[in-house]
Amino acid sequence: MSAPALDSVRTAPLITGLTTRLLTVPLLRSWGVEAPENHVIVTEIQTDDGGAGHGFSWTPTIGPQAVQALLDHDIAPFITGLPANPETVW
């Protein structure tokens, strides 16, 4: 990591939490018998300076609860306390 990148890690706010919400959205036009709806996992990352970041992912048929469980039980504890710097987290 370069010196400027290290400086941004040192000054970045720290992640204090990750929350998720699962939404099920009916499709106006079904993608087939197996996909009459779309599942959206909405995420929010909170930081120690009061900031927040939002994101989402989706899956039409398979495993939305599994994706949410992975985020809640594995990813959230891993990233809590890390700098809110994409280079560091990913």
Domains along the chain with CATH numbers = 3-89 (3.30.390.10)
Distance CA 23, CA 39 (A): 6
* Three-class SS state of 72: helix
- Sheet with 52-59, edge to edge strand ranges: 15-26, 37-47, 52-59
Q: pLDDT tens digit string along 2-20?
A: 545 545 456 899 999 999 9
Going by the DSSP 8-state scheme, the letter that residue 14 receives in this structure is: B
Q: pLDDT tens digit string along 41-83?
A: 999 999 999 999 999 999 887 899 999 999 999 999 999 999 9
Distance CA 24, CA 52 (A): 23
Strands 15-26 and 37-47: antiparallel
